[in-house]
Each structure stands twice: as structure tokens, then as C-alpha cells.
Chain A
């Protein structure tokens, strides 16, 4: 008799094929366990009997697929998450950035945009924002809409002042936004330097030459095959000796691209493309 877990694995493979065939989103090389959990949650929330029933809804109801896409995209983010990373960027990478007349920075998987605004603030305080264009991309349009507005719940932003100071912030986080009763909006002077755009790592290509790429806690969702593909894309998307920042549990250690980068800050996961390649 076939075991339940094997049947479910088969059904999920079919579902991912259906999504790829119907909508062009390729989740086949995602890390499977967290993906499986999200799929089973959706089955349960939508009161479906099993994954195969979900499969049929995905194929025939685009609105149901949009719901699933929302489940899939990670929206958990905060201002200056892991402030020590920003502090290290300031003391290492920023010095290099000062040598360029124009700077491109790419936040990959920006979700609702808090990290892009954090970076803009830090660049501003170090006299770099004027010459910088920040590209912040995600495949979730719903998150991008929030990011573009730059408007957040007050109780989510105010506690981040401490992180801002730990990151080496010189003033107060509240200097960069105006408050309404329950929400805050970041100043236009920050927004002017950020372009939020839809980009799908599963299929889209290089779009500019970047001096710094931040891709924190995105690779954790991918299997080794997709991780290598994406890292190769990053390597091709940078200027010579460009910088790459990963999440605090991610590393290049077991990937092919390890050869192309040197680790310049191990705890902070900051890498620089090697010269003479």
C-alpha cells in the first residue's frame, strides 16, 4: 500500500507542475518542507479535502492562485533587522561606495520595503543617498504596493528606533517620517531614491549593474539548484568587485559561487566579488 506521505509528495509535485504550466511561476525548486506546510495550510483554510482538490482550483480559478501566491510570499520584515549588519556595511562597504559617482543597490525580495527604507536612511546619513538608486524588487505586487506607499503601522516602526541607533543611526528614526494617528509615512526625500518593481527570481534576468546586492533570507526558501542559479545571476548583475549581503543564517559555503566571492565579514555575511576572474 502506498503511504500517505508519498501520495502527498506526488500530489504536491503535480500541483507545482500545474502552477508552472498555468501561470509561469516555478516553485519546483523551492525548499520543500516549508512549501508543503504552506500548501497544507491553504488546503485546510479553504476547507479542501486534499492537495488534488487544490490542484483543480488552481488550474481553473486565477483568483485562488492569487490567494496562494499571497500565502507563498514572505512578508515578515522589519526596519534595521539585525542592526549589526547595517553597522558593518557602514564601516566597510560604504567606504568603497564613496569612490563611485553613481551607485546602484538592489534589495532582492524586499517584501513590504522596510529594509530599503532602512538603507536609504543610512545612505543619507553618510552622504551617499544623492548619488544612489535603490532597486527594491519582489514578485508579490500586494507587498510592493505597501512598500511604494511607504506607510506603516506606527506600533511596528516606533520600536525600531533602538535598532536604528544600534545600526549607527545619528539622529532619531522619527526624523524620517511624519506621523498620523496610527500610521507613519516615510519622507519623499527617501522615496525619490527607491524604485520598487516586480521581479521574479524564478524567471527574470539581470536588469542593471549593481554595486551592492542585498538578498537576505530569500535563499533559505530555495533548494540548492535554485540557490546556485540565483547566485550566478547576482554574480552577473554586479560591477567588478561588487558586494553581496546574505541573511544571517545563509552562506556561500556549499555553493558553486563560493569561488567567485570572498567573505569580508563572516558574522554579517558580507561578500565581495573577487578580482581577476
Chain B
């Protein structure tokens, strides 16, 4: 009977959205995050490549423009809906199996810290089929293996349509490495996500 029930309830309930973005990220994020409604029912976690600085303008910039609260991801904090968490610069960001954050300062991955692959791999283990992964604009190939992990655990993989990206290398790299569920133009992404997670 177990198998039959699983078959009937095959509609997935998503529990988290992870986003990886690099060069050109400010415009891309501004086109997505402020358009997510205040009742967006799942937490959003972003890795945006940038230099390690003590003053970080990205978080207040997005927060002022968004319905959701945009904050820095901090150690031990449980992921909650209503929040957009941004990986602090200079640290790798992980999601533990109990859906709390942890950080590390280890070697760069794909010349990056934080690295998108690091976040995506750990998120895939935590959320498995209930995870949505999204790769936006960027000039390198970070995130492509992470998105592959999300696919491996049967999560949903999304990529910004390369010709709508300021820098197309990162979306293209993701598409080259694994099967992608949906390739979306930048300005359709927030609607797509909202419909996906709000429809019953």
C-alpha cells in the first residue's frame, strides 16, 4: 500500500529554494527577489560571489526592495519561510541535515568562497526531492556540479535562459553538465516560482 500511496501523492511539496549567482548578480537578483510575494511559503538561500568586505551593501539593498526579509545567513539558525538568506562573503555556507545553517572557511571551490556547489550539495542532502535549485548569471562554472547533485536527489533544477543573462557562462555550464527541468527567461522566473510553490 505504501507504494500506491506514494504514487497517488506524487505532487512534491517543495521546502526550500537555493540560488547561485555571480557576475551580473545585482540586476538579476533585483529582477527576482523583490517580485516574490510576502506569503512565499519556503525559505530562499542565495550564494552571490563577491569579495570579503566588512560592509556588505547587497543585503540592505535587496531588503529595502523586497516583501521578504533579506538577511545574512548565520550559524545555527534554522531556515524559515518569509526569509531570504544570503551567504556572508568570505565563508562557505552549508545547510545541515536538520535544516540549520553552518559556515566554514576552507579552500576556495571553483575559485570562489562562498561557493555555489558547496551550498547546493549540502542543501541537496538535506532536502533531497523537496529542493529547488536555480542558477543565474555568472562568468564561471560554479554551481553546475551542485545542480547536478540536486538532480541526483530528484530535486527540481532551474537555470536562467543564457541569452537573458548578463554573463551567460554560468547558466551554459549548468546546462552542459546535467539535464535541466526548466530553462527560464529572467523576467519569468519570479512568476514561475510563485506559481510553483503557491499552487495546491
Q: Which residues of B contact A36 (CB under 8 A)?
A: 122, 125
Contact partner, A220, options B75, B95, B118, Cβ 8 Å:
B75
Check A33–B97 contact: CB distance below 8 A: yes
B107 interfacial by beta-carbon distance below 8 Å: yes
Q: Which residues of A contact B88 (CB under 8 A)?
A: 249
Q: Which residues of A contact B75 (CB under 8 A)?
A: 219-220, 249-251
Most interface-central of B54, B92, B105 (chain A CB within 10 A): B105
Q: Which residues of B contact A168 (CB under 8 A)?
A: none
Most interface-central of B94, B95, B104 (chain A CB within 10 A): B104
Distance (Å) between the CB of A113 and the closest chain B CB? 16
Given contacts A5-B128, A34-B92, contact A76 B97 (CB under 8 A): no
B103 interfacial by beta-carbon distance below 8 Å: yes
Check A33–B102 contact: CB distance below 8 A: yes
A74 interfacial by beta-carbon distance below 8 Å: yes
Given contacts A5-B153, A9-B97, A249-B91, contact A34 B106 (CB under 8 A): yes
Number of residues of chain B lying within 8 A (CB) of chain A: 23
Given contacts A34-B92, A82-B54, A84-B54, contact A220 B97 (CB under 8 A): no
Contact partner, A76, options B95, B105, B153, Cβ 8 Å:
B105
Q: Which residues of B contact A220 (CB under 8 A)?
A: 75, 91, 102-105
Pick the 3 closest A-B CB pairs, nearest first: A33-B94, A34-B104, A33-B122
Q: Which residues of B contact A (CB under 8 A)?
A: 54, 74-76, 88, 91-92, 94-97, 102-107, 118, 121-122, 125, 128, 153
Q: Which residues of A contact B (CB under 8 A)?
A: 3, 5, 9, 31-34, 36-38, 74, 76, 82, 84, 217, 219-221, 224, 248-251, 254, 267
A-B contact pairs, 27 of them (CB 8 A): A5-B125, A5-B128, A9-B97, A32-B96, A33-B95, A33-B96, A33-B102, A33-B125, A34-B92, A34-B94, A34-B102, A36-B122, A36-B125, A37-B118, A37-B122, A74-B104, A76-B107, A217-B105, A219-B75, A220-B102, A220-B103, A220-B104, A224-B76, A249-B74, A249-B91, A249-B103, A267-B54
